[in-house]
Chain A
Amino acid sequence: KNEVEQSPQNLTAQEGEFITINCSYSVGISALHWLQQHPGGGIVSLFMLSSGKKKHGRLIATINIQEKHSSLHITASHPRDSAVYICAVTKGAQKLVFGQGTRLTINP
């Protein structure tokens, strides 16, 4: 079993819909990260959090340490949000362990 599990693996939605991507982990962590990867592109860090909730524009990330679970929400989704969203956790000092990613497609 992977230490970091994401669901769903693929998600297709219509423009404007509210999107939720989930991440569960099974190890002790120092921090949890949400990353975005566009097709053929590099990887960009969206959020790093160790408790509570963070918001940036239409993106919201939450984490529940007790339940070892995090969610990434996108409000008023747009086709430009189409990308792979990756959850990763920091174990120990600096090593990241990654989930498999969620491929999000937003149709106009």
Chain B
Amino acid sequence: NAGVTQTPKFRVLKTGQSMTLLCAQDMNHEYMYWYRQDPGMGLRLIHYSVGEGTTAKGEVPDGYNVSRLKKQNFLLGLESAAPSQTSVYFCASSYSINSVTPSYEQYFGPGTRLTVT
């Protein structure tokens, strides 16, 4: 199993450009998450999904959109990139213990380093 993979690994954007980050997991996990990691700050939750077709806002959702059309994929979109979105982005997933309870353990992808100039 590949676990959690992220595409691309690196990207440089100009202000105002758009892009989509792809997260894929092959573990049949129900829950998926997008985080950003900035120097001097802990990881912060951008958006998350509790199942196919559902998404919810996290701590820092502004400027981002997400979609979960397939259970194995969670896409993070930047419609109009800004320098403040320069960061390392991590995707994670977790499985369900039962129909309503997620496992507390999350599995992380390798990260995407995004620079917006």
Contacts and interface: CB of A to CB of B under 8 A. Distances in A.
Interface of A: 2, 4, 30-31, 33, 35, 41-45, 48, 86, 88, 90, 93-101
A44 B109 CA distance: 9
B94 to A, nearest CB: 7
Interface of B: 31, 33, 40-45, 48, 50, 58, 90, 92, 94, 101-102, 104-111
B42 A42 contact: no
B110 A42 contact: yes
Given A42-B108, A86-B42, A95 B58 contact: yes
Contacts of A4: 42
Contact of A93 (B101, B108, B111): B101
13 contacts: A4-B42, A30-B104, A31-B104, A42-B110, A86-B42, A93-B102, A94-B50, A94-B104, A95-B58, A96-B33, A98-B42, A98-B43, A100-B40
Nearest to A89: B104
Given A94-B31, A95-B48, A100-B42, A42 B111 contact: yes
Nearest to B94: A94
Contacts of A90: 104
Contact of B106 (A30, A93, A96, A100): A96
A74 to B, nearest CB: 21
A25 B86 CA distance: 28
Given A93-B101, A94-B31, A94-B94, A45 B106 contact: yes
B105 A45 contact: yes
Contacts of A43: 90, 92, 108, 111
Contacts of B109: 42
Nearest to A84: B37
A96 B42 CA distance: 11
